[in-house]
Amino acid sequence: MVDVTEKSETTRTAVAEGFVRTRSDVIEQIFDADLPKGDALPVARVAAILGAKKTPDIIPLCHPLPLGKITVDFDRLAEAVRIEVSVKTRGVTGVEMEALTAVSSAALTVFDMIKAVDKHAVIDGIRVLSKSGGKSGDWSVNND
């Protein structure tokens, strides 16, 4: 693991996104909570939160962090669900991995919930949109 003992404790945030691409009729089922397995979005929200909290258990060499806030949002697109997760902590290292793991966990959960009605769904576009805090300062895809 990287030695972070000399780093300054600061407020750190990271925002990540990802997409589950599927047919428009499946998007309707997702947002109407009308899937055979049940209401996908609340389940995916909980999966995202658990994924963020469990990141050091599943990603080798990640430091365990006291996560102060996790926000999970779902946007309805014509043929996709866009997932955005924001993670915030006060600590000595960033939370990009926690945000990415949260988005991945939510996307996998949506995929699992829809696979009975669309075997061809695709997860893609998982990336960090922005980060703030720490020595390297603020960064976003819009101002790199």
- Of residues 73, 112, 124, 144, which has the active-site annotation? 112
Q: What is the mean pLDDT of the chain?
A: 95
Q: How far is 89 from 51, CA to CA, in rounded Å? A: 15
Over range 11-37, report the average pLDDT.
97
Rg over CA atoms, the chain: 16
Q: Is the pLDDT of residue 144 over 70?
A: no
Q: Which candidate, 86, 72, 70, 78, places its Cα nearest to that of 30? A: 78
pTM of the full structure: 0.95
In the chain, what are the domain boundaries? 17-133
Over range 136-140, report the average pLDDT.
88
**What's the pLDDT tens digit per position in 54-93?**
999 999 999 999 999 999 999 999 999 999 999 999 998 8
Over range 21-44, report the average pLDDT.
98
Over range 33-48, report the average pLDDT.
97
**What's the pLDDT tens digit per position in 83-122?**
999 999 999 888 999 999 999 999 999 999 999 999 999 9
Q: Which two tokens stand for residue 140?
A: 């976003």
Per-residue confidence (pLDDT) for residue 143, from 0 to 100: 75
CATH superfamily, with its number, for domain 17-133:
Molybdopterin cofactor biosynthesis C (MoaC) domain (3.30.70.640)
DSSP state of 102: H
Q: Is 57 a catalytic residue?
A: no
